[in-house]
């Protein structure tokens, strides 16, 4: 099992995946529940891997798990035991040994509970009440179906309810690190660490060791005068770009910097040790270009929905890694993770293998004060969890005016888009944010457009040259919607065709649809090659995002099936994506220096 929190790792933890007892009942307390079924955690009951494969809308799912702590897991004097949940959809309430220990609302973000005071010996009983109203349109749900059948319709997919990410125990010292936040600055070759510690740690020392490929870059220690410490570490500057590039993270050279953080108390005794990582990587925009590490970088993204045939929204570490690698093999240097906040394990693979990520807030569909609050809370927690991942290069609070359906007409909906954009930039000034991806832009750092024209010549006519942008913005209506609203200034912004393509090709008998259709492999490949050739001829564009990486249930417009079987020759598809031939010995498109390193040090598994 991969450690579920990759940038804050400790040695003492226990994975609770596996069989749990469960029940479908709206009881309010565990004493009133008869646990009459079994489920495999962390798979949602709607998924085959859960063992239930039950699409029936159950408003409440109850879980129970009994375990015995071994000596290494039992907290000693001055230690605590934490119970972590990666994500529970939607409202989770938790009991340990019959004692209510806390709860959380939000279906995509993690929470942890201190269960130490509920312990009574080594025997542990964990019970969870997960409530999820499938018909609540104000709840941030992403692509989850709301119809009673729950099996998917249109562009929406089977529901996910209850526990769907890792559950795990962690024994921690009272004097400990609570969180780390890494902010890189490529221009000054520096890293800023913001560390949050427990009140018991104040007065002690925090030691930081940074290393790259085993070589020490920094070894420093600081006195903890409060619960938050911020320090900037300057890295050795070789003074010439050719050598500086070896320090930088890109998809072609995904160089990470390892970090060890150690807290000692006032007497110098080690209390807590945490392993983390970061990278030197900057993102920006200038003169219509998207910039990576201060240089123009053309975005070749795929729309990635993050569903699997057996696990639904949940996948193993091996499956997550395979998705990152197939995206690279198909010629993409990034993905837009669509309407889902993906597992941190997937983000770690994007960091390590090298894949850019646009992170997107799962939409609500009704606009109400409650939906505004829930969207904001979910987004705050997502940014806090994922801020330090170098792979993330853009934040996307809204998609296609979902949840703000009257955006051109209602000032309050425009204010929400502007507000979440500004909130995002207040929390992270280092990455661009897109207010409303696709159309009806009121604010944002990138001009992103959705256009499913099947004819390559139409794409060329709309985006072939920068001097046609004004005409396209004035005349083209994506799904009948204006691309920009009054007050939005597109001048100088990078233009990204952030959804297009969607060529349907049925390879496994799944009935479904796409935005155009091919009837055989040769036709599918030819359509893709022609469309991509037009895209690469569009000098207006700073990048693209093709729909989509994989089939997703009834949407059969992926480059692979839902089972991840490519629909045409991968090398040919990759060449079309890249706009140039593929080196057969370098299918992921790495820089020669990174290839040389991989010859002696493979990406960790």
Mean pLDDT of all residues in 179-201: 97
Mean pLDDT of all residues in 342-365: 98
What value does the mean pLDDT of the chain take?
Answer: 96
Q: Which helix (H) or strand (E) holds 318?
A: helix 317-329
Q: Is the bond leading into 90 cis (omega within 30 degrees of zero)?
A: yes
pLDDT confidence of residue 604:
67
Q: Is the pLDDT score of 1 beyond 60?
A: no
pLDDT in tens, 203-246: 999 999 999 999 999 999 999 999 999 999 999 988 888 889 99
* Phi and psi, residue 338, nearest 5°: -90, 120
pLDDT confidence of residue 239:
84
10 burial via Cβ count (<10 Å: 0-12, 13-18, 19+): middle
Q: Is the pLDDT score of 605 beyond 70?
A: no
pLDDT confidence of residue 17:
97
pLDDT in tens, 281-290: 999 999 999 9
pTM higher than the cut 0.85 = yes
pLDDT confidence of residue 53:
97
What sign has the CA pseudo-torsion 563, 568, 569, 571? negative
Which domains are assigned to the chain? 13-173 (2.60.120.260), 177-278 (2.60.40.10), 297-600 (3.20.20.80)
Contacts of 13 (CB under 8 A, 6+ apart): 3, 168, 169, 170, 171
Torsion of CA 344, 347, 351, 355, to 10 degrees: 180
pLDDT in tens, 534-587: 999 999 999 999 999 999 999 999 999 999 999 999 999 999 999 999 999 999
Confidence of residue 508 (pLDDT cuts 50, 70, 90): confident
pLDDT confidence of residue 243:
87
β-strand 167-173 against 79-85: which pairing, if any?
A: antiparallel
Confidence of residue 380 (pLDDT cuts 50, 70, 90): very high
CB–CB of 529/542 below 8 Å?
A: no
pLDDT in tens, 414-470: 999 999 999 999 999 999 999 999 999 999 999 999 999 999 999 999 999 989 988
- Complete edge-to-edge strand list for the sheet that includes strand 447-450: 392-396, 356-360, 334-337, 299-304, 541-547, 495-501, 447-450
């Amino acid at each position: 099992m991969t450690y579920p929190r990759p940038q804050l790792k400790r040695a003492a933890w226990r994975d609770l995946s596996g069989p749990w007892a469960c029940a479908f009942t709206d009881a309010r307390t565990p004493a009133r529940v008869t646990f009459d079924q079994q489920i495999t955690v962390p798979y949602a009951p709607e998924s085959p891997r859960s063992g239930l494969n039950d699409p029936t809308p159950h408003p409440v799912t109850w879980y129970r798990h009994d375990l015995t702590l071994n000596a290494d897991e039992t907290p000693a004097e001055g230690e605590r035991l934490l119970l972590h949940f990666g994500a529970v959809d939607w409202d989770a309430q938790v009991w340990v040994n019959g004692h209510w220990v806390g709860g959380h609302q939000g279906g995509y973000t993690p929470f942890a509970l201190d269960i130490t005071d509920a312990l009574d010996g080594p025997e542990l009983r964990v019970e969870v009440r997960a409530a999820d109203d499938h018909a609540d349109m104000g709840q941030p749900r992403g692509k989850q179906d709301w119809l009673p059948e729950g099996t998917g319709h249109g562009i929406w997919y089977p529901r996910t309810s209850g526990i769907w990410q890792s559950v795990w125990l962690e024994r921690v010292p009272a004097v400990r690190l609570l969180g780390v936040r890494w902010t890189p600055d490529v221009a000054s070759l520096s890293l800023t660490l913001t560390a949050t510690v427990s009140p018991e740690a104040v007065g002690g020392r925090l030691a930081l060791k940074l290393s790259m490929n085993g070589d020490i870059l920094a070894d420093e220690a600081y006195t903890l005068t409060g619960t938050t410490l911020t320090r900037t570490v300057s890295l050795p500057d070789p003074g010439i770009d050719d050598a500086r590039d070896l320090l930088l993270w890109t998809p072609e050279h995904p160089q990470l910097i390892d970090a060890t953080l150690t807290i000692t108390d006032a007497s110098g005794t080690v209390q807590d040790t945490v392993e983390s990582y970061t990278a030197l990587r900057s993102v920006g925009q200038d003169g219509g270009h998207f910039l990576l590490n201060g240089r123009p970088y053309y975005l070749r993204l795929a729309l990635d929905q993050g569903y699997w045939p057996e696990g639904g929204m949940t996948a193993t570490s091996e499956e997550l890694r395979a998705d990152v690698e197939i995206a690279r093999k198909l010629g993409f240097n990034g993905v837009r993770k669509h309407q889902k906040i993906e597992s941190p394990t997937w983000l770690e693979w994007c960091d390590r293998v090298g894949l850019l990520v646009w992170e997107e807030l799962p939409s609500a569909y009704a606009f109400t004060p409650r939906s505004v609050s829930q969207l904001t809370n979910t987004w705050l927690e997502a940014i806090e969890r994922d801020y330090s991942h170098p792979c993330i290069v853009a934040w996307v609070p809204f998609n296609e005016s979902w949840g703000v359906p009257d955006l051109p007409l209602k000032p309050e909906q425009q204010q929400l888009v502007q507000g979440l954009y500004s909130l995002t930039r207040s929390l992270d000034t280092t990455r661009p944010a897109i207010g409303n991806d696709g159309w009806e832009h009121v604010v944002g750092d990138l001009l992103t457009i959705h256009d499913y024209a099947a004819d390559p010549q139409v794409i060329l006519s709309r985006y072939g040259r920068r001097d046609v942008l004004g005409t396209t913005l004035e005349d083209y209506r994506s799904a009948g919607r204006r691309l920009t609203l009054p007050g939005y200034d597109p001048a100088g912004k990078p233009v990204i065709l952030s959804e297009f393509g969607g060529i349907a090709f049925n390879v496994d008998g799944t009935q479904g649809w796409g935005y155009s259709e091919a009837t055989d492999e040769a036709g599918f490949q030819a359509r893709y090659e022609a469309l991509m050739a037009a895209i690469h001829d569009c000098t207006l564009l700073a990048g693209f995002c093709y729909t989509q990486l994989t089939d997703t249930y009834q949407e059969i417009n992926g480059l692979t099936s839902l089972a991840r079987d490519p629909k045409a020759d991968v090398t040919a598809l990759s060449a079309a994506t890249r706009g140039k031939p593929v080196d057969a010995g370098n299918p992921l498109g790495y820089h020669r220096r990174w290839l040389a390193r991989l010859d002696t040090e493979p990406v960790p598994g």
